[in-house]
Amino acid sequence: MIPSEIPEHGDHWKSIMEDFKRCILPGITHWQSPNFHAFYPSQTSYSSIVGETLAAGLGVVGFSWICSPACTELEVIMMNWLGQLLNLPKCFLNCDDGNGGGIIQGSASESIFVAVLVAREQAVRRLKVEHPELTEAEIRGRMVAYTSDQSNSAVEKSGILGAIKMRLLPANDDCVLRGSTLIKAVEEDKANGLFPVIMVATLGTTGTCAYDKLEEIGPYCNENNIWLHIDAAYAGASFCLPEYAWIKKGLEAADSLNFNLHKWLFVNFDCCAMWFKDANRITDAFSVDRIYLQHKYQGQSKAPDYRHWQIQLGRRFRSLKVWVTLKTMGAEKIRELIRFHISLAQKLEAYARADDRFEVTSSTLALVCFRLKGEDALSKQLLENITKRKKIYMIPATFQGKFILRFMIGGIDPQPADIDYAWNEIKTQTDVLLGVDENGNDVTVKDIIKQEMFEKEKPIGMITESLNGLVLANEKAK
């Protein structure tokens, strides 16, 4: 649909927008739709979009304070605002007496990778002193990192990129990593002459939003010179709610942590907050000074040169969209919306529990995990049928060895009616798949047509698809 070569002459905006509608929009997965229930959300707000537009117009490349003082200084303030909103331990904030501080990275993947690199370089310096008989290459070759087998793929990838072995430790039946599992693995590795470097714990795993036991993991890491990084990419937003303070129990033991504002704090992608308990440790690991990067104000704690805190040199003015969003919404509105999204998930959970054909395997924050009772093949087929119809979008996961469906509250403005719509689609397709409704009554062609006609306008092709599904189900039954 798009020409294979660049045009010699520019086109009119009207023509470009027509091509946009014709070529681009049909191939978009609409993350801001209230019918998007897959992955974790990438929620935004109109305030954030305005802030993004202002930042794009300014075109700041803020790798150091002198490149645009307001860019750096606003980020320092925003990271403190966010830390206060999320009730983080003060040791992570720039406004505390310690060496804590925060930076806005692009994503959780980037933040985790930075943490792995910092931990690695810190460990190399320490181990060279402790083991003068070993070369640096030998030390690096013996390093090992740890995480749960439920952690995001970005954690394992950070080990590959950071040239350090990443051990995936088995979580328990509730998808939680316990301290005893970590301790056993570390002691085994020590006995084999390896050097434990970093533990990446997760608060809100990708599959089921489970929470590793920080109060068990943290003290052991602190006592054994193991860097503890916390990936709270999604669940970190819940820290602002007093009733969910239990999730972050033990957080004070962390050396660094990350949380994605673009998941559940209404700032558009990309925007990931990352905090360090001792910011000097990252600047020591990453600092490379050239004469063209120096200025007379460098080194001030309230005006850090963020180029020392990240992988890339240049950086966007992300704090501007954070400021606009937080300033227009306020803490009270943010807490209200997060609680509202949780209530929407609870509404879906209630529907699933009321239907005896389903079992809810877990439910936390705005995520509900459920499945059809019986063999995995039923749930797999149900998800496949729903995905083909493109009315709602969900993805699978596994829990205790079983195939499950994840239902995530997403979209820019989800409402109770959207949950009703989603459940109606799930229930109707279950009726078609099983050939009977939730009351055990046979589902007929007449029932399917009636159901489709009463929904939002749907092409006749979708009705035909439902009928074909019913025919196949009946043939299988025979």
Structural tokens at position 20: 């946009």
Residue 138 three-state SS: helix
Catalytic residue among 94, 152, 260, 268: 152
Instruction: Name the burial class of residue 153, with classes exposed (0-12), middle (13-18) and buried (19+) by CB atoms within 10 angstroms of its CB.
Output: exposed
Q: Which residues contact 256 (CB under 8 A, 6 or more apart)?
A: 111, 115, 118, 227, 228, 229, 230, 274, 275, 276, 277
Name the phi and psi angles at 147, rounded to 5: -160, 175
Give how far Cα 85 sits from Cα of 48, 344, 420, Å.
Answer: 17, 23, 32
Q: Is 152 a catalytic residue?
A: yes
CB proximity list for 383: less than 8 A, separation 6 or greater: 394, 396, 405
Q: What count of other Cβ atoms lies within 10 Å of the Cβ of residue 26?
A: 8
Q: Which pair of tokens denotes residue 377? A: 């093949």
Instruction: Tokens for 330, please give them.
Output: 């306020």
Contacts of 93 (CB under 8 A, 6+ apart): 79, 80, 83, 84, 100, 101, 102, 275
Q: Are 16 and 392 in contact (CB under 8 A)?
A: no
Residues designated catalytic: 152
